[in-house]
Structure 1
Amino acid sequence: IGGVYDKLGEKQKALEYYSQSLPLLRAVGDRGREAISLNNIGGVYADLGEQQKALEYYSQSLPLYRAVGDRGGEAITLNNIGLGYSELGEKQKALEYYSQSLPLRRAVGDRGGEAITLNNIGLGYSELGEKQKALEYYSQSLPLRRAVGDRAGEALTLYNIGYTKRDLNNLTEALNDIESSLKIIENLRTKIASPELRSSYFATVQDYYEFYIDLLMQLHKTNPKSGYDTKALEASERSRARSLLELLQESNANIREGISPELLQQEKSLQQQLDAIEKQRIETISTPNPNATKIDEIDKQRLALLQQYQQIQAQIRTASPRYAALTQPQPLTLPEIQKQILDENTILLQYSLGKDRSYLWVVTSTGLTTYELPKQVDIETAAKDFLEIITSPIQRDIPQQVAQASANLGQVILQPAAAQLGNKRLLIVPDGVL
């Protein structure tokens, strides 16, 4: 269960399940599976950015794998230790661990794991500036990813290949690779029935879209008339979580047609229980001296019911022929935005914040103009300064401070397009901190 939540990007939830598993494995003396659990917990800490903590768990896991003679597990942990060192900036040390992992992966016939380690070695060489060597390893990883049906891994390796080719200035080839990668992402995303989990999965792949948008805008610079800016705007639309759009689409169809009566009865029963517990919660909170322990218990029950309810809804979505027949709603294209959303008095400002640089698309009913803005961290600094001043009880009453912070942020995000704005109504699609 921890593993499933982990894959879907729900890291805290994964950690809860892994941590419940660990003491049980120790209690029954299952050292092999204890090693697996320790390794998994390390993996979650790594994803949460706590590399030192991750390395602590990996180094508890490694001797256990060796003690029980699990060479496959040993290979996985060596690979993960390499990842930890890579994140801590020790690229050479990372490569040493990957190189210990690779022959073990091959010895036990773990082709999927071999693909992962080859991909990581490629990444290590790429970060050390050895781009051609990186491509060699990625090219060995890709057919293995495909052979074992690891679609998410295939998308990742294609993204890495595209990134490296971009660094080598092969922009058109890089574009083909990232577009192939995003096709897989879009396909995987539609396979997840629960809207909440679909969103959390989508959040884990935002770097792919950021890279794609940046690449298109770099191509736009070299070929301004080839429509790359339009493609980038449409990619920005695609990169946004489409949960609302999808839920609206579902609500127009009777997705319950053809569902087993038992499932529908379970859904109805859980809905009634949720209503009852919500009523109980409100009554408890409304008493003169609410009992904190009781509220805690109610919250726990409510959360458990809510999880069951979401699972039942996901089952209904998966089982419904009507739902399966629904086409996934597509974001609007540039001509559709111009025709359906804008008029001559309305302008759309769409932002995309990126690690190296950010972008602003200004769309009118008749045209599109693009602007390159500073990198994400610079925009975040200006935005946070502004937010801090206007929410501070003291500073917000000092007109000069508010004006200065406002001007700083405006300079970064609006000034480039100021001449186009006039007295138009602005529709703003913000990103990140904005």
Structure 2
Amino acid sequence: MNYQRRALTLALSYAAIFSGVSPLLAAPTRSAPPPASVRAQGPPAAQGADALRQGRRLLRRGRTDQALPLLENALKLAKESGAAGAQARAFDALGDLYALLGQHAVALKHYQSAHENFLAAEAKEGLLQKAVGIGENKFNSELMLAKIAETHYRLGNNSESASAYQRISVAKPDTGAVTTAKKGFGFLSSVKSAVTGPPSASTVTEGVGLASKIQEAIALYHQVIIYTNQELGLGRIDFQNNQLDSAKKHFENALAVAGGNNPLIANLGQTRRFRVAARTGLGDVALRQGKSKDALKFYADAANGAKADKRLDLMWPAQRGTGKARLLAAANEKDTQKKLKTMNEAAASYREALATIETIRQGSLRADDARTTFLATTEDVFDEASGALAEMALMSASAGAATLDGQSLAYAAEAFRIVEQGRARSLLDMLSESRAEITEGVPAELLKRKQENLEQQQDIAQQLTGVSLTNEPPQESLDKLEGKLETLAVEYDSIENQIRAASPRYASLTAAQPLTLEAVQQNILDDQTVLLEYSLGNENSYLWAVTNKGVAIHRLPARAAIQEQAAALRDQIVPQSLRRSIVELAGSPVRGLADDRGLGVASGAASGGGDGGTFAGVSHTLYQTTIAPAAALIKDKRLLVVADGALNYIPFEALVTTAGGTDYSALPYLINANEIVYAPSASV
């Protein structure tokens, strides 16, 4: 097989995956002029609203390159009109765009501007709106604080994230009864009739008769969303900081609201998600406290609740948690056979979680369940499941054997399949959501119905939980909107199945299965090639060394340790002072990837004049960690490297195989003994 050709073919996908941007999602280096529809004649406010509507629609499809000029034009027109609310909505949409691109620092600035403008718009609200508490600007300003907090969390700024969550000002909503008193956002009485009955102002007193029951119910739902977001966010931060008692209290607060006895609020989509998230969070706290039995109970409650709600998207986190709890129980088990038995039970739970994830991936997520968030979160499940099986392979391996056999090989093969499944899914989901021609041969009518269905779902979800285009609350009751969302989700699955039936090509691309370990050995590797596939984990990392005749698996240090070693080598190759991000290379202050995600280099970087001895030392350290464990299998063969995490930024050719030496030109580089090619996956 021509490995150079294969590597070159895969390089395009490789660059897209590990830069964090697909060809579709790549941010343009400069704005294209707005489409003719946006430049049409009319009042600036109307033009801006139209541009925002079109930009949001394109953004929902992942068409960031087309959405950007529209959203920027919407912001420009909003500024010209002086309308704070319109500016806020445009800033929010731009923040979502940059968050989708992985440019969280840029997204943060836009969310902050959106928050400031929503506050300005709220200050101009009339007395009536404030008295009733139905003003959307209040909800939106708090929602921006939640987005600011979430973005800080993604950037690793836990202190700033906690500060943003604490700035949210919302009372704990009373969801314990059908009739709710005046709290938080305003008058919230007669919630049952507000949700199920026709719009009416008869229940509103003290001169605020224009407020409808629907708006009161929406206000309560929004209050629940903001409060539970705040509590779950603070709980997550405290959990990460190992402040377990505080984390537990926050999760309990969220569960008390999301699990209230008011069926009209408790049965809504976001509330159900929050309920499962809170129970899962409590399970995580119990797990870290070493209380595996308590953790299993919380996870079981979460799974049962998700099953009762018929929500697969709520089920997999609980199944994953059950796997984690059983792994903890196994870690505390002294008897080897009992330990392996408990680990098998953990693996079974992870298999259930992965099967649920796959079912969801092949169907649809409701529009209020962000697909990008779903995909990012489920990556951890693949890592944990493969890690558990890798440990089982090592436990079962024959002492002193160079390669695996029997049950240990079976465990290693399953772990490898899961790693490959995770890599393949990342690429295939990028392709399915990009402009790649995977829909060739699909009837146009089906594609149109699919897109229209998804847009309807997103419009309803935006009314329920997001920033509305009009800044007006929905005019339909909550149960009607929720019912429409459920119906559309079912219809979407039906349309997707019809598309797969109509186009075998589409079905094969969107539901492709990764190669098994045996298939890789037979179809990818020849006698002179060794596959080195890495999977970095929070506690341990793993290396699969595979030839066409044998398989070995090696435990490596945790992700953080390997990242540190990789960063040290990268600092020697491209000093920090000489790096340039793609943003700088493109000449744009906001577009492109942040410096911590790219590999930008400046001219003259190669002549940085570093210490050859220091370079040789850090390079050899990384060699010892990542290559040396498999040296007996590698010898002088060609290496097909499937890297992970920080290892994607390292040229393996520059690894030094023997300690010592200071002359760059005379160092024993790995490339001197082994040809090296790269791929993002052994299967795709």
Pairwise mapping of residues 118-267 of structure 1 onto structure 2 (< 5 A)? 118-169=279-330, 170-191=342-363, 202-224=375-397, 225-226=406-407, 227-242=410-425, 247=431, 255-260=440-445
Cα distance, 1:133 vs structure 2? 1.4
Deviations 1:129-171 (A, max 9, x none): 2221122111111111222344333211211111111010121
What does residue 539 of structure 2 align with? 356
Q: Are the structure 2 counterparts of residues 91 and 334 from structure 1 closer, same or farther at C-alpha, using a change threshold of 3 Å?
A: same
> Which is further off, 106-115 or 387-396?
387-396
What is the CA–CA distance in structure 1 between the aligned matches of 2:555 and 2:148, rounded to whole Å? 40
Structure 2: unaligned runs, 5 residues or longer: 1-55, 57-91, 126-134, 173-182, 187-219, 331-341, 398-405, 449-494, 576-605, 648-684
What is the CA–CA distance in structure 1 between the aligned matches of 2:296 and 2:414, rounded to whole Å? 27
> Which is further off, 31-40 or 169-178?
31-40
Deviations 1:58-102 (A, max 9, x none): 333343665325463434433433333223332111222233333
Identity among equivalent positions (%) equals: 24
TM-score under structure 1 length normalisation: 0.74
Pairwise mapping of residues 355-374 of structure 1 onto structure 2 (< 5 A)? 355-374=538-557
Q: Secondary structure in 2 aligned to 1:347? A: strand
User: Which amino acid counterpart does residue 642 of structure 2 have in structure 1?
Assistant: V
Cα distance, 1:400 vs structure 2? 3.0
User: Which amino acid counterpart does residue 314 of structure 2 have in structure 1?
Assistant: G
Q: Is the 8 A contact 1:158 1:177 kept in 2?
A: yes
Structure 1: unaligned runs, 5 residues or longer: 264-316
What is the CA–CA distance in structure 2 between the aligned matches of 1:261 and 1:131, rounded to whole Å? 48
Q: Are the structure 2 counterparts of residues 412 and 163 from structure 1 closer, same or farther at C-alpha, using a change threshold of 3 Å?
A: same
Q: Is the 8 A contact 1:217 1:232 kept in 2?
A: yes
What is the CA–CA distance in structure 1 between the aligned matches of 2:299 and 2:438, rounded to whole Å? 44
What does residue 574 of structure 2 align with? 391
Q: Is the 8 A contact 1:22 1:37 kept in 2?
A: no
What does residue 38 of structure 1 align with? 145
Cα distance, 1:198 vs structure 2? 7.1
Matched, 1:423 2:606: no
Greater C-alpha Rg: 2
Q: Is the 8 A contact 2:287 2:328 kept in 1?
A: no
Instruction: Specify which of 114, 121, 125 is matched with residue 27 of structure 1.
Output: 121
Q: Are the structure 2 counterparts of residues 9 and 172 from structure 1 closer, same or farther at C-alpha, using a change threshold of 3 Å?
A: farther
Deviations 1:269-289 (A, max 9, x none): xxxxxxxxxxxxxxxxxxxxx
- Structure with greater helix percent: 1
Q: Are the structure 2 counterparts of residues 5 and 142 from structure 1 closer, same or farther at C-alpha, using a change threshold of 3 Å?
A: farther
Q: Is the 8 A contact 1:361 1:369 kept in 2?
A: yes
Q: Is the 8 A contact 1:351 1:359 kept in 2?
A: yes
What is the CA–CA distance in structure 1 between the aligned matches of 2:251 and 2:371, rounded to whole Å? 32
Instruction: Specify which of 517, 523, 527 is matched with residue 334 of structure 1.
Output: 517
Q: Are the structure 2 counterparts of residues 114 and 423 from structure 1 closer, same or farther at C-alpha, using a change threshold of 3 Å?
A: closer
What is the CA–CA distance in structure 2 between the aligned matches of 1:100 and 1:399, rounded to whole Å? 57
Instruction: Specify which of 42, 58, 68 is matched with residue 185 of structure 2.
Output: 68
Cα distance, 1:375 vs structure 2? 1.9
What does residue 114 of structure 1 align with? 275
TM-score under structure 2 length normalisation: 0.49
Deviations 1:343-389 (A, max 9, x none): 11111111111221211111111111111122222222222222222
Matched, 1:102 2:255: yes
Asked which structure has the greater RCO (Cα within 8 Å, sep 6+), the reply is 2
What does residue 214 of structure 2 align with? none
Q: Is the 8 A contact 1:32 1:64 kept in 2?
A: no
What does residue 92 of structure 1 align with? 245
Q: Is the 8 A contact 1:35 1:64 kept in 2?
A: no
Q: Secondary structure in 2 aligned to 1:433? A: helix
Q: Are the structure 2 counterparts of residues 6 and 61 from structure 1 closer, same or farther at C-alpha, using a change threshold of 3 Å?
A: farther
User: Which amino acid counterpart does residue 259 of structure 1 have in structure 2?
Assistant: A
Instruction: Specify which of 372, 380, 387 is matched with residue 563 of structure 2.
Output: 380
User: Which amino acid counterpart does residue 637 of structure 2 have in structure 1?
Assistant: K
Matched, 1:414 2:508: no
Q: Are the structure 2 counterparts of residues 411 and 425 from structure 1 closer, same or farther at C-alpha, using a change threshold of 3 Å?
A: same
> Which is further off, 207-216 or 22-31?
22-31
Cα distance, 1:416 vs structure 2? 1.3
Instruction: Specify which of 225, 230, 235 is matched with residue 82 of structure 1.
Output: 235
Q: Are the structure 2 counterparts of residues 259 and 81 from structure 1 closer, same or farther at C-alpha, using a change threshold of 3 Å?
A: same
What is the CA–CA distance in structure 1 between the aligned matches of 2:390 and 2:308, rounded to whole Å? 34
Pairwise mapping of residues 253-332 of structure 1 onto structure 2 (< 5 A)? 255-260=440-445, 321-322=502-503, 325-326=507-508, 328-332=511-515
What does residue 432 of structure 1 align with? 645
> Which is further off, 22-31 or 402-411?
22-31
Q: Are the structure 2 counterparts of residues 17 and 32 from structure 1 closer, same or farther at C-alpha, using a change threshold of 3 Å?
A: closer
> Which is further off, 327-336 or 52-61?
52-61
Instruction: Specify which of 162, 166, 170 is matched with residue 59 of structure 1.
Output: 166
Deviations 1:254-273 (A, max 9, x none): 6254215997xxxxxxxxxx
Q: Are the structure 2 counterparts of residues 10 and 204 from structure 1 closer, same or farther at C-alpha, using a change threshold of 3 Å?
A: farther
Cα distance, 1:242 vs structure 2? 4.5
User: Which amino acid counterpart does residue 216 of structure 1 have in structure 2?
Assistant: L
> Which is further off, 97-106 or 122-131?
97-106
Cα distance, 1:403 vs structure 2? 2.7
Q: Is the 8 A contact 1:396 1:402 kept in 2?
A: no
Aligned residues: 380
CA RMSD, 1 decimal: 3.8
Deviations 1:323-357 (A, max 9, x none): 65445222111121111111111111111112212
Deviations 1:187-237 (A, max 9, x none): 3334479xxx97775343222111111100121133333110111122221
What is the CA–CA distance in structure 2 between the aligned matches of 1:261 and 1:123, rounded to whole Å? 43
Q: Is the 8 A contact 2:145 2:165 kept in 1?
A: yes
